[in-house]
Every structure is written in structure tokens, then in C-alpha cells.
A and B are shown apart, each in its own frame.
Chain A
Amino acid sequence: MPEISAGDTAWVLMSAALVMLMTPGLALFYGGLVRRKNVLSTIMHSFFILGLVSVTWVLWGYTLAFGPDTGLGIIGGLDWLALEGVTGEPSSVYASTVPHLAFMAFQMMFAIITPALITGAFAERKRFKAFVLFAVAWSTLVYAPVAHWVWSPDGWLFNLGVLDFAGGTVVHLSSGVAALVAALFIGRRTGLVEPATEPHDVPMTVLGAGLLWFGWFGFNAGSALGANGLAANAFVTTNTAAAMAAITWVTLSWLHRGTPSVLGAAIGAVAGLVAITPAAGFVTPAASVVIGLGVGVVCYGAALLRLRARVDDALDVFSVHGVGGAFGALATGVFATVAVNPAGTNGLLAGNAGLVATQALAALVVAAYSAVATAAILVVVNLVVRIRVTAPAEEAGLDLAQHGEIAYQP
């Protein structure tokens, strides 16, 4: 029987709490970006998911994602339904120095924030009831299997040698692609004036980005699943990539639009955090500088292209999480080195070009599955409850029309 380490357990539980804080942080990040008549509904998407997926994860999500495999490396079985058999003793498979329940709780916070990321795409026009159905279905049918493919030792992508330290493909690419599909499905917001709708509260968005950045230390450094040198490496690479992407995005906006954008600093930092997520425990701090610069440039370009394409992914989820997640997955294939993590694999720069191909395959498969499954879920949900609110409700704002409340008193 493996022995529990007090230090590792404290760090994993603390990291779970840090990742939990990211979802309210995301609520503020998104809330500031929408018009004032939709701020509560936007915040509610993230906050409700915090409750909703906490429960579904305990009941069936965890066992589908991390439970003993059903045979093909595609999905876990129901052995751990409602956490039966998941106890304070370490798992024989995952994180052998912490209680199994601590590992489960840490993974739960990832499962919560992933569907919350998608909500930025359909902000300001989605019915709450349809959102609830979508969130339950998506976290069950997309997140759980993809997590199993990549992170279960029996998962088929895991066994191909895919590296995803903290969720570049599982969390960000899957949600980013789902966001693009959702935006295309639900259509553009009415009454949208170009350039894109002004954020109603930039300080709220910057506060949200700050909370995300803070919580991301748990997301990435916590994924070392121990209080050790690997966690320290992930901590440093996470901060460095976020910092580099933030100042890169600001620089680009300064050169492109003539002013250094505050909003750009916030969005750039998030792009950097996304890109370093799969790589944090496999690359050196120096590599994280390059990754931060690269993702800042790539995601800035993707955001500009999104505007030109006139796809109303309202809060640029695809440009930041989809593109940033794919970039990070490929960057992991380039910069990974066993000098940082002996349990990983060398990447292109260490003489193993094959890892780039493996990472690219994983990115393609996860993107394709997320796109198809998300589209199917949207079609079915739309048959049960019309996803889009009525035009008068959209005009009135979802805070009042869907929630009967307003954020700011006159």
C-alpha cells in the first residue's frame, strides 16, 4: 500500500482550492466583457456550473473519466459511481502519495472550469435552461471521455505517448472548439455594432484575469501531484509564459492600434496560461518565454481573423483557448525534455520529431471529436429547449429576461 505524503496532500488540496477559484475568476473575466444588461447571466453561467458539475462529477463524471477502463481506452466504467470505493487511501493508479479523494477533488475543479470556458461563446443570447442541459451533456459526453483518452493510463491517446501536463487538449482545445461550434450554431448577437461590443467593465475583466492567473498555479503546478521540484518548474513556466504573452499582446496592440491595451494585457496573459498548460511540467523556463511570445502573436492574429470572419464567438473563446490550446500542444512536442521530467518524452529540439506528430494527432482528434459531439448535443438540446432567447428578451438583456434581476441599480 502506497504511503500518503502530508506535503503532497496539502499541495494537491490547496491546488484544488486554487483551481476552484478560477471559475469565479472566469465569471468576472467574462462578466466584464459583456454589456451591462447581460453581466449577471454571464456570471451565472460560470457560477452555476461550479455547483452543477461538482455534483455530476461526484455522481458519474469521475468514474467515466478516471474509472477502470471498459476495454478500449475510450471511457471509464461505473465502478466508482457516486465515488463508491474512492476513499482517503491513495489510488493504486493515480497520485500514489495523496488520498484518492484529494486527486478526485483536484480533477473535479478541471471538469468544472472546462464547460464554463465555453459559455463565453454564447454569451448574451442563450436560454438558461438550454445552458443547463448543454452543460450536463457536454461535461458527460465530451469532457469525461477526452479526459479518459489523455489522462487515464488505459486511455488510447495516453498510450500513444501524448503529453498533456495539465489540460491543453483536454481542457482548452476541447472547450475552444466547442465554443466555435456553439457560436456558429447559435448565430450572431442582434444589434451588435462593429467594432465588437464594448466591454462594460474592463476592471472587472482584469480582476478576473488576475484571479485566473493566481488559480492557474494550482492548475499547472498542482498537476505535478506532489510538493516537489516538478511543481516548482511548472509554477515558474506558468508564470513566465503568462507574463510573456501579456506583454507580447500589449506590444502588438500598441503597434497595431496605436495604444497599449489594458484589455489586451488581460487576454494576453490568459492566452499564455492556456499555451503553457500542456507543457508546464515538460519544458524549461527558457522555453516558456518562447512559448509565451509565440502564443501571444498567434492568438492575437486569431482574434483579428475571428473578427474578419464575423463569427460571433462573443468573448473569443476559440481564439484564446482553442488556438492557444493547440499551439501549446504542439509547443510541448517541440520543447519537451526529459531533463525537466524523466516521466515525459523528449521533443523535437531534443531529437524526437515524432512527439510533434503525436501531439498534432491528439490535437486533431480531440478537436474533431469535440466539434462533432458538441454539434450533436446542441441539435438535441435545441429540440428540447430552444437554445436562443427571443429577440425581445435579447434586446432587454438576459439579466432581466432570464433571471429577473439587474446588476446595477439606476
Chain B
Amino acid sequence: MVIAALVCFAILFVAWMLAPTDGRRSSRAAPEVAPDLAALPGPA
């Protein structure tokens, strides 16, 4: 069971390494595109 627990964490760790570094697969926005901060209330 100890090995199984370590493997569970290892699976997540590998997933983190494979995950997008700068969110490029995000459907919300590309990181290089600055949001319209002026449209947000209050100071940026």
C-alpha cells in the first residue's frame, strides 16, 4: 500500500510536468493577451 500511495503522487507529479506551463491550452485567454484592465473596477 505504501508503494501504491507513492505511485499515486508520482502520477500527479508527472501530470504537472506535462501540463501547459503558461496555460496555452486554456480556452479562456492566451497569456500574452493583456486583459482590458481599464475595464475592471478600481486601480490595476
Interface residues of A (CB under 8 A from B): 35-37, 55-56, 58-59, 81-82, 84, 127, 129, 132-133, 136, 198, 200, 385-386, 389-390, 392-393, 395-397, 400-406, 408, 410
Contacts and interface: CB of A to CB of B under 8 A. Distances in A.
A289 B6 CA distance: 47
19 contacts: A35-B43, A35-B44, A36-B44, A37-B44, A59-B5, A127-B21, A127-B22, A133-B16, A392-B31, A392-B33, A393-B31, A393-B32, A396-B34, A397-B35, A403-B23, A404-B28, A406-B40, A408-B41, A410-B40
Contact of A36 (B2, B26, B28, B40): B40
Chain A interface secondary structure, helix, strand, loop or mixed?
helix
Contacts of A200: 42-43
Interface residues of B, number: 29
A379 B14 CA distance: 20
A408 B40 contact: yes
Nearest to B27: A404
Nearest to B30: A401
Nearest to A35: B44
Contacts of A136: 13
Contact of A395 (B2, B29, B34): B34
B35 A404 contact: no
Contacts, number: 84
A82 B5 CA distance: 7
Interface of B: 1-2, 5-6, 9, 13, 16-17, 19, 21-23, 26-29, 31-37, 39-44
A84 B5 CA distance: 11
Given A129-B21, A390-B22, 13 more contacts: A35-B43, A35-B44, A59-B9, A82-B5, A198-B43, A390-B32, A392-B34, A393-B32, A396-B34, A396-B35, A402-B31, A405-B28, A410-B40
B44 to A, nearest CB: 6
Nearest to A393: B31
A401 B5 CA distance: 33
Nearest to A78: B2
Contacts of A198: 43
B27 to A, nearest CB: 8
A81 B2 contact: yes
Chain B interface secondary structure, helix, strand, loop or mixed?
loop
A385 B32 contact: no
B16 A55 contact: no
Which 8 residue pairs of A and B lie closest in terms of their CB atoms, listed nearest first?
A401-B31, A404-B28, A404-B26, A82-B2, A396-B34, A392-B32, A393-B31, A82-B5
Nearest to A407: B40
Contacts of B31: 389-390, 392-393, 396, 400-402
Contacts of A56: 9
A82 B3 CA distance: 9
A410 B37 CA distance: 9
Contacts of A392: 31-34
A293 B8 CA distance: 48
A404 B29 contact: yes
A396 B28 contact: no
A393 B22 contact: yes
A401 B28 contact: no
A84 B6 CA distance: 13
Contact of B29 (A58, A400, A408): A400
Contact of A385 (B21, B33, B41, B43): B21
Nearest to A395: B34
A406 B35 CA distance: 9
A222 B22 CA distance: 41
